[in-house]
Structure 1
Amino acid sequence: MMRTVVAGAALTGAMAAAAWGGAAQAAEIDLRMAIISSENSIYYEDMAKPFADLVAELTDGRVEIEILPAGTVGSVLKLHDAVQDGLIDMAQTTPIFLGTSDLVNAMVASFPTGLGVDSYLPWLYQAGGLELWQEHRRETMGMHALVTSLGPSEFFAHANEPITGADDLEGKKFRTLGNWAAIVEENYGVSPTVVAGSEIYGMLEKGGIDMAEYSIPSENQKIGFHEVAKYIIYPGIQAPAWAFETVMLTETWESLPEDIQRRMELAAELTTHRSLQAMITRDLKALEELQDGGNAFVRLDDAFIADAQEKARAWAMRLAEQAQAEGDDLPMRLAESVFGFQDYWRDNAKYLVMDYRK
């Protein structure tokens, strides 16, 4: 749990800092942060550890974050609960694990055919996205949220046969989850199969599922999905960009000195920017290697991508309207913010030079 060092220890730290030219201080605050994975994953290497390291650096060692890998604090799907129950101080996790009954959780961090790697950060930091996210956590869960990472587009799927559009999806057993599972089941006759990431390889190999989406190219390559499924389907419209949050109780956040809060906010934003660049760079290398291997890359049809966006937005607006009818306007404000900014971006960002070509 969060610990504040007694005055004597703090004084000792200050004396030590003075002896070393003010370069370091003893930790005043210890925080325990659970994460969803082991240390051998992007979620630790590119997200959790860089954030903890930056917090220590920017607070001159006054705040130390202990990272608790998966399995330390119950189910990785229930880390929000662990924070609310007081078992840990913080959790770095995804809102997707909270389910789709609340549209804000279903779309604030990622949404099928939604904001991509080019438009997500401007929406988050300049167009009110972060404020809506934090309002929801505060009002509905009694928590404070810091966005502490952004991941790039995932593969659409590793599949045992080529997939280009709606007709190819009909009747397929698709390992997926969250909002995309609901959308493809409702609109494309897919049978969503929700299994842990550790089970995907074996199920693809044995034909228990026809296709699977999991993570970004470099992470999928590390696990080896390309070894048991010939076709790699792209682009990953189900996760065009995806963010993780670090949550803590509101009372924990408000107990921190204001200068510590500001430095932790800066650490969070820096980690978010850096995580995206780190993962993209690693993914480029993975793509190079995979394209030189024995897999076949298959691109989704533009017509299917457009149809999927229409259906995904309709799904979200239906949930937003239901919530609004029940007196909750935040889902509608979020949906209008995301879709409005995406359309605004597409209409006005044509002057930007993008190096990618189809």
Structure 2
Amino acid sequence: MQHLIRGAALGAVVALLAMPAAAQTITLRAATIAPKTSIYNTAIAIPFAAYVDKLTDGKVKIDVQEGGVLAPIFKIFEAVEDGRADMAIGPASFLGGKDPTNLMIGSFPTGLGVDSIIPWMYNGGGEKLLQEHRRATMKMHTMVMGAGPSEVFAHSHKPIRTVEDLKGLKFRTLGNWAAIMKDGFGAAPVVVPGSELYSMLEKKAIDATEYSMPSENKALGFQEVAKYVIMPGIHAGSWTFEAAMMGDKWDKIPKDLQDKIHLAAKLVTFESLNSIIMQDFAALDTLLGGKNEVIILDETFKRKAKEAARKWAADAAAKAKAEGNPWPERVSKSIFDFQDRWAKYSPYLVVDHQSDFTKK
């Protein structure tokens, strides 16, 4: 009997030692670009963390840190590279213009609209290009994670109805739109942080500003200090965020968990676009019912802006190619070919759209 007991005990020990160790929880610290109460976190980063937790049964945790905690907001990708953060959640444009690709792939002035941005990303090769670019140039793995609708073109002290109205205008903006406005239309772009915009607009240190969607702009109160609200935001007709981390760290995550993280990102991309639009509708109820004068940019303005934007892209791509960087040409061609094809075949689609707001 004793030898049977000893044998059973020995077998139990051997079986226990042969069992794989319980999988450790993977925690990823995510650097973001805004306060936790911002729509960029409440509609994108925080839901992403919740979906990842749910889909992976708690095996992966995304620790969302608000903008400025792990790194300055324009340095979130750099923070991933140097280890201060495990993941960057934000727009490609925050990488700056050293590589023009980053000023094209997540959003481009007069580029893809709310209806076409997600089809291009997931079915037209956009996300694949983004991932190839990050691996090749930054050794990162990334995924599209979050999308949003058109921004407000401007809150302005002066009316803007034609491109000629941009000449000499002290217009706060960023990135390639600043260059397009300056070189194409003689505007005087001013680059300042979003935290300073209300004060500068109130003091008329700037004539006009773009910042974000109606819901975000309304919360900041720009409509209180500038008479004109100008739409649509053709400088940012639609946009996407990405969730990026170093490739070697991503590659160590088990494949089944990688797939679930990707699924969480895709769910958030679809849901964030829809939820932000509905929040914008609520904000527009207030903006349209207030004392502001709303100006809708006409087709001539849009056409001239599109011509100037595509010229900027062609010039930037040619310069980059001459310097050995093929990515701006590849990305801009993909975007513009898809946009032109979408425009060509879109008349068959029934779209609930009107060219101006209904006057009460």
In 1, Cα distance between equivalents of 2:190 and 2:325? 31
Matched residue, 2:156: 159
More off after superposition, 27-36 vs 38-47: 27-36
Q: How far, CA to CA, are the matches of 2:199 and 2:19 in structure 1?
A: 56
Matched residue count: 338
Q: Distance in 2 between matches of 1:89 and 1:174?
A: 35
* TM-fit CA distance, 1:94: 1.4
The match for 2:223 among 208, 219, 226 is 226
The percent identity for this pair of structures is 49
| Further displaced range: 113-122 or 65-74 | 65-74
Q: Which runs of 5+ in 1 are unaligned?
A: 1-6, 12-25
Question: Residue 215 in 1 paired to residue 232 in 2?
Answer: no
Q: Partners in 2 of 1:50 and 1:33 — Cα distance?
A: 13
The answer on whether the counterparts of 2:36 and 2:66 sit within 8 Å (CA) in structure 1 is yes
* TM-score, structure 1 as length reference: 0.92
Letter in 2 for 1:272: T
* 2:253 pairs with one of 251, 256, 269: 256
- SS for the counterpart of 2:259 is helix
CA-to-aligned-CA distance 1:145-194 (integer Å, 9 cap, x gap): 11110010000000012111111111110010011011101111111111
Structure 1 residue 304: deviation in Å? 1.3
* Aligned pair partner of 1:294 in 291, 295, 298: 291
Counterpart for residue 309 of structure 1: 306
Structure 1 CA distance, aligned partners of 2:52 and 2:62? 8
Aligned runs of 1:1-358 on 2, under 5 Å?
11=22, 28-358=25-355
1:27 is displaced (CA, Å) by 6.1
Q: Deviation digits for residues 195-218 of structure 1, max 9, x if unmatched?
A: 111100011111100000000000
Contact 2:163 2:304 in 1 (8 A): no
User: Which structure 2 residue ranges, 5 or more long, are not aligned?
Assistant: 1-17, 356-360
Q: 1:291 to 1:101 in 2, by over 3 A?
A: same
Deviations 1:293-318 (A, max 9, x none): 11110011211110110110011011
Q: How many Å separate the matches in 1 of 2:46 and 2:266? A: 14
Determine the C-alpha separation between the residues in 2 that align with 1:207 and 1:9.
66
Residue 23 (structure 1) aligns with: none
SS in 1 for 2:348: coil
TM-score of the pair, normalised by structure 2: 0.91
- Flag the structure with larger Rg: 2
> How far does residue 277 in structure 1 lie from its aligned partner after superposition?
0.3
